Amino acid sequence: MRKIYLLLLISSAFCLNACKKGPQQTAENTYKEWPVVLETGTAVPLEGNAFITQPVNGGTEQIVAGGLYKWNNAGSVISTYFKLGQPGKLNLAIQASVVTGSSTIKVSVDGKSFNITLKGATATVYPVASIDVAAAGYVKVDLQGLSKEGSTFAEVSNIMIGGSATTSGLKYASVSTDNQFYWSRRGPSVHLNYTAPAGNIEWLYNEVTVPQGQDNIGSYYMSNGFNGGYFGMQVKSATERWMLFSVWDADNGDKTVLTSKGAGVTDGNFGGEGTGGQSYMVYKWITGNTYKFLTQIKPDGNGNTLYSSWFFAPELNAWKFMATFKRPSTSTYVGGINSFLENFAVENGYMGRKALYNNMWVRNTSGVWTEISTAKFTTDPTGATEQRMDFKGGVENGQFFLQNGAFFNDFVADNTSLSRTPTGQQPTVNLSTLPLN
């Protein structure tokens, strides 16, 4: 944790009065009116831990390198999150500067609100309050503008915290190198790494259900993951959803090529986290409905491997063909079977998402179906290094599940082994009649 010295602690008499006020009452204070003492504290940077949780049309505020900038709209709410390891006293301040004149803002935490006056273009630590926190877990600090003399309320770099509640088990996004603040704001990705039977596996089948209210924009519910690619469904915007099937380029750099695709499927290439061929279908999948995902992987006998995928749309009672890709310089069957859940919209990293994964089966080259009922739950470096702790996976009502975001407290440890009761419901799909267009 980064440690700095800050002027923070308020008098016990004021704290006693402030703590008695209801959630809608405020304490009017300016920096010079606070009795203070010198204390070692922690700076929680907005750059890696804050979100505009209530954006407003016309608002220009944004979280960028250095913190909150261009904060102009009084209706906007900016929220910063950190996790306390124990109950106790929480001393709170903000580090901010005002470009022009003075501003008054509202700082809200734990159901209490405090109005603070800011002034001066030099970054200054402004004490806010000292409150008693009853339990360990995530704390949310909200900022909202009340009045300003200039065009913006303030530029805010850090939420400053101290007190007994912060002395043990404090967690927040603290690593800024290698673009980690970006990944921390996206939130921890979570995975199910399945235990597959021995032998050459040609077909991979899985079922995914997204519960109602767990379909926030930026969510990718990946069902059929394998060495070389993945297949699942996404929320692209408030009005658009995708089925997405992608295959990476060969390890030696040779390009994956599309050999065929289904009706209504768009194909192209992807970059960023590797490169490869991509196909997607704009399809308005529905929360609460269960979607079946089927992938075939087999060598073509000429030093390449063919990857094909379909999904079953319950609304249409039909299988839909996505695409077939040829990956050169590769000769393989299904391997590295996994599912994952991630957020790809960084500004929505504070929102939650969840998916249920059930009834996974594989079929070998001899035509034998085998159910997969064990997996290992893992998270990415954002979770594994405890930059974010809102991740979990497990078994719910006999189904595997993955969940992340929303800053919940009951996380599940990385590398946890999971097992569900087998369903015994072998896929009924007729592989010989699957559509190819």
Question: What's 107's domain CATH number?
Answer: 2.60.120.260
Determine contact, residues 204/362, Cβ cutoff 8 Å: yes
Residue 181 lies in a domain: no
d(CA 271, CA 22): 52
Record the pTM: 0.90
Residue 182 lies in a domain: no
251 and 150 share one domain: no
141 and 212 share one domain: no
For residue 8, what pLDDT is reported? 37
d(CA 139, CA 128): 15
For residue 246, what pLDDT is reported? 98
Residue 179 lies in a domain: no
For residue 18, what pLDDT is reported? 32
41 and 105 share one domain: yes
Which residue from 326, 327, 320, 325 is spatially nearest to 262, judged by alpha carbons?
Answer: 320
d(CA 259, CA 305): 12
Tokens of 205: 């089948």
Residue 180 lies in a domain: no
194 and 149 share one domain: no
Q: Select from 174, 205, 222 the last residue of a domain.
A: 174
35 and 127 share one domain: yes
233 and 155 share one domain: no
Residue 359 lies in a domain: yes
Determine contact, residues 405/136, Cβ cutoff 8 Å: no
Provide the domain count of the chain. 2
Q: Select from 142, 174, 206 the last residue of a domain.
A: 174
Residue 126 lies in a domain: yes
Range of the domain at 35: 3-174
199 and 146 share one domain: no
CATH code where residue 368 lies: 2.60.120
In DSSP terms, 357 is beta-bridged to: 208, 400
144 and 192 share one domain: no
Q: Which pLDDT tens digits describe the chain residue by residue (437 residues)?
A: 333 333 333 333 223 223 333 333 333 333 333 333 335 589 999 999 999 999 999 899 999 999 999 999 999 999 999 999 999 999 999 999 999 999 999 999 999 999 999 999 999 999 999 999 999 999 999 999 999 999 999 999 999 999 999 999 999 999 999 999 999 999 999 999 999 999 999 999 999 999 999 999 999 999 999 999 999 999 999 999 999 999 999 999 999 999 999 999 999 988 877 899 999 999 999 999 999 999 999 999 999 999 999 999 999 999 999 999 999 999 999 999 999 999 999 999 999 999 999 999 999 999 999 999 999 999 999 999 999 999 999 999 999 999 999 999 999 999 999 999 999 999 999 999 999 99
199 and 280 share one domain: yes
Give Dmax (Cα) for the chain: 81
| Collapsed DSSP state (helix, strand, coil) of residue 15 | helix
Q: Select from 174, 208, 237 the last residue of a domain.
A: 174
281 and 322 share one domain: yes
For residue 429, what pLDDT is reported? 96
334 and 426 share one domain: yes
Q: What is the CA radius of gyration of the chain?
A: 25
197 and 154 share one domain: no
For residue 234, what pLDDT is reported? 98
Residue 11 lies in a domain: yes
| Collapsed DSSP state (helix, strand, coil) of residue 278 | strand
d(CA 279, CA 286): 20
* CA 230-234-240 angle, 5° bins: 140
Residue 324 lies in a domain: yes
Which residue from 309, 307, 298 is spatially nearest to 205, judged by alpha carbons?
Answer: 309
Tokens of 316: 């249409």
